Homo-oligomer: A and B are copies of this chain.
Amino acid sequence: MRPTVHDIAAAAGVSLATVDRVLNQRAGVRKVTRERVEQAIERIGYVRDVAAANLAKSRVYPFVFILPSGDNSFMRGLEAQVRAAMRRSSMERAVISIVTVPAFNAEALVAALDEVRVTAPAGVAVVAVESPDVIAAVNRLRANRIPVVTLVSDLAGSNRDHFAGVDNIAAGRTAASLMGRFLGGRTGPVAVLAGSMLVRDHRERLDGFRAVMEETFPGHALLPVMEGQDDPVLAERLVGETLAGTPEIAGIYSLGAGNRGLIAALKRRANGHSICVIAHELTRHTRAALNDGLIEAVLNQDAGHEVRSAIRVLKAKADGVAVIGAQERIRIDIFLKDNLPFEDGGENQEPGQGEDV
């Protein structure tokens, strides 16, 4: 049987209350007593039963997720995953709420962060937009001892506790590596479709992609980056123009969420040589394009994993315990037509279909 507080009380010759005081580092214990208790704890190898502790405290964790609004498929999938977590959250004593703000809008995000702060939640997960004001707002949360994890897109220079997302530089490098090899002997320039250079994940992907293309595949020039604001209509127009202006194009790297527009533009281009397209995020649009051979590879981040990880980390930070590092490392999934997860396996769906939640 695992040792309990009673055992350590007996071993140290003190009462439960005193043990509790030293365990929770509260004041009101003489130094000698404290040391005696600490030795006992060490000696009998006590580890606190967190479940029992939470029960006694009837602790709940009010967490807030701040997500961009808009009809970006990936972000809506992310929100669906948060909602799925909400449904399970009663089990984990977490009470999750969602706040949405316009995408790529630092001002709105700052307002949301400050509003959330006054409700004193046990933790905040936020899809960051990079700006000094946002950094300041996040730091205000931290100053109030509220744990913060950035989700999907990180916020360098802030005091956020953790980033629940992929290594986007590596993602860009990987995309370039695949692009270069898939292109094989083919020649011609490569185009890049981004959402906005205001978010760190897009910038990092571009940096990584550009680095490997220049180092390893200098034969393929990079066309000027198209910024589609993750808007299907704008993206379709930009891609269409580029295809018209540079018909000898060999490949396209879509590093943002403008895939619906990209796919539309590719489909309108009835004939011509094959173009190697690599995109991000497995949604129903990219999945279909992968199956049709319109897209060769999709790099994906598992939104469900990111959300569950964010919750685990927030909870761990909230009660000051460690996390399993490897479990919180979000992988870059590479999907080809051949390793697509069965059916709509959980990455961008309202859960409950196909999974035994």
Interface residues of A (CB under 8 A from B): 2, 47, 49-52, 54-55, 88, 90-91, 167, 170-171, 173-174, 176-178, 181-182, 184-185, 208, 212, 296, 302, 304-305, 308, 322-327, 329, 331-334, 336-339, 341-342, 345-347, 351, 354-357
In the complex formed, the residue of B with least CB distance to A341 is: B329
Given A325-B354, A345-B329, A355-B324 in contact, is the A338-B182 Cβ separation under 8 Å?
Answer: no
Evaluate contact between A338 and B181: CB separation under 8 angstroms: no
Please, which residues of chain B bring their CB within 8 A of the CB of A51?
51-52, 54-55
Please, which residues of chain B bring their CB within 8 A of the CB of A88?
324
Q: How far is the CA of A308 from the CA of B329 in the complex (A)?
A: 14
Evaluate contact between A322 and B184: CB separation under 8 angstroms: no
Please, which residues of chain B bring their CB within 8 A of the CB of A182?
181
Please, which residues of chain B bring their CB within 8 A of the CB of A337?
177
Residue of A302, A304, A331, A351 contacting most chain B CB atoms (<10 Å)? A331
Q: How far is the CA of A14 from the CA of B57 in the complex (A)?
A: 28
Instruction: Quote the shortest CB–CB distance from A162 to chain B (angstroms).
Output: 10
The 8 Å CB contact of A174, one of B49, B174, B338, B351, is B338
Please, which residues of chain B bring their CB within 8 A of the CB of A171?
339
List 19 other contacts, CB 8 Å, given A177-B336, A177-B338, A181-B296: A2-B90, A47-B90, A51-B55, A171-B339, A173-B338, A174-B339, A176-B338, A178-B336, A208-B338, A302-B331, A304-B327, A308-B324, A325-B355, A326-B346, A331-B333, A331-B341, A333-B333, A334-B334, A334-B339
Please, which residues of chain B bring their CB within 8 A of the CB of A332?
339
Evaluate contact between B327 and A170: CB separation under 8 angstroms: no
Given A170-B339, A339-B174 in contact, is the A329-B346 Cβ separation under 8 Å?
Answer: yes
Please, which residues of chain B bring their CB within 8 A of the CB of A208?
338
